[in-house]
Amino acid sequence: MENTFTAIIKKINGGYVGYAAELPGANTQGETVEETLENLKEAIVLVLQANREITEATMGGEVIRETIKVSA
């Protein structure tokens, strides 16, 4: 599954910080813009995996899973 996110990058002393506008908790830093973007991709994957694990752990009983697509 491929998703699209908006990367927000800000220059700070000694490098850059970045976060995904649509996904709270997905943030990172790097020495270059390119490094920050690569780190942000990894952070996004980790946040999505953690959210799935949390959902599975807290949803007791039978659940229905459906894939949905939205455009914003």
Domain positions in the chain: 7-58
How deeply is 20 buried, as exposed, middle or buried, from its count of CB atoms within 10 A (0-12, 13-18, 19+)?
Answer: buried
How would you write the pLDDT of the chain (72 residues) with one tens digit per residue? 688 999 999 999 999 999 999 999 999 999 999 999 999 999 999 999 999 889 888 987 788 888 888 887
Q: Give residues with Cβ within 8 angstroms of 8, minimum separation 6.
A: 18, 19, 20, 21
Q: What is the pTM of this model?
A: 0.84
What is the C-alpha separation between 31 and 17, in angstroms, rounded? 9
Instruction: Fill in the DSSP letter of residue 9.
Output: E
